[in-house]
Amino acid sequence: MEIGIVGLGKMGMNLAFNLKDHGYDVKGLDLSEAALAAAKKEGVATFTNLEELTASFNGRRIIWLMLPAGEPTEKVLEQLLPLLSAKDIVVEGGNSNYKDSVRRANTFAEADISYFDCGTSGGISGARNDACLMIGGDKEVFASIEQLFKDIAIENGYLYAGASGSGHFLKMVHNGIEYGMMQAIGEGFQVVEQSNYDFDLAEVARVWNHGSVVRSWLMEIAEAQFRQSPKLADYRGVVAASGEAKWTVETALEMDVPVPTIALSLFMRNLSQEDDSFSAKVVSALRNGFGGHEIVKK
């Protein structure tokens, strides 16, 4: 099966290698010459524009986008639509707003092209080996390519979520929950770090991650980051908010559902732009640990 990956960043590159490991004929496109060279070195066919990429397929095209949400994704999709044919498939794996995904699916359906919104979790390591996927779109077409998602996901790690937009809706809420969890971990470690006791924070994370009710991958990342930088001296407590928690709060307000923890964690991300707290340093370190997000240096 031929699959084209548009966007060979941290997630897209690793997804391409994951697919290649499972026997797929992977083609990659990116604006970065360095990214194209790295992909080509691992046996991925590379292209510099959508026209060449779409023309390279021998049969039905499956184009998987891994681009930043908003204008970058919108522009590529506008360019891509006239290059595709009926029965082709688009999978959009970025963190797009689910309302945009519904609109786009309707636009592509007018050309008899299937559009799947695929919420993708698990960070860089998940994209490379064991992704967690939430997929929205046409159920019958999904059944015809389900093996694709099963191959690259961790065991029991993919879900056909339902109609268009449902995959990105689930990822939006997932990321809202993630904000709350990371904020709680950060605040807890700030209390520990500022106490009168001389705690080894890596050891605290280790023991909490073995048998306790707060054990998690985030706690595992916390341990790893504390072992690398015991007091997180390399980090500033500045944490970006990428949009999903804001959308979660907005959607919850539309539904009259209270989400105070997620809302407060979002506000704390905004506050971190001004306040260099230890809790924000922990959150920054966690984001770097699972997603490779840039470290804001002192």
- pLDDT tier at 116, thresholds 50, 70, 90: very high
CATH number at residue 42: 3.40.50.720
Tokens found for residue 237: 């407590």
- Half-sphere CA count of 6, side-chain side, radius 13 A: 26
Could you list the active site residues? 171, 178
Chosen domain end from 147, 164, 181 = 164
Do 204 and 147 sit in the same domain of this protein? no
DSSP 219-251: HHHHHHHHHHSTT-TT--S-----SHHHHHHHH
Tokens found for residue 149: 């998602």
The pLDDT score that the predictor gives to residue 293 is 52
Enclosing domain of residue 242: 171-278
Do 160 and 176 sit in the same domain of this protein? no
Chosen domain end from 137, 164, 191 = 164
- pLDDT tier at 295, thresholds 50, 70, 90: low
Mean pLDDT of 198-204: 98
Mean pLDDT of 43-56: 97
Mean pLDDT of 148-167: 98
179 assigned to some structural domain: yes
Do 200 and 155 sit in the same domain of this protein? no
298 assigned to some structural domain: no
Task: Work out how many domains the chain is built from and give that number.
Answer: 2
Tokens found for residue 158: 């993919």
The pLDDT score that the predictor gives to residue 269 is 84
Residue 298 has pLDDT above 60, yes or no: no
Tokens found for residue 39: 């992909």
Do 18 and 145 sit in the same domain of this protein? yes
105 alpha-carbon distance from chain centroid: 20
What is d(CA 131, CA 170) in angstroms, rounded to the nearest whole number? 15
290 assigned to some structural domain: no
Q: pTM of this prediction?
A: 0.91
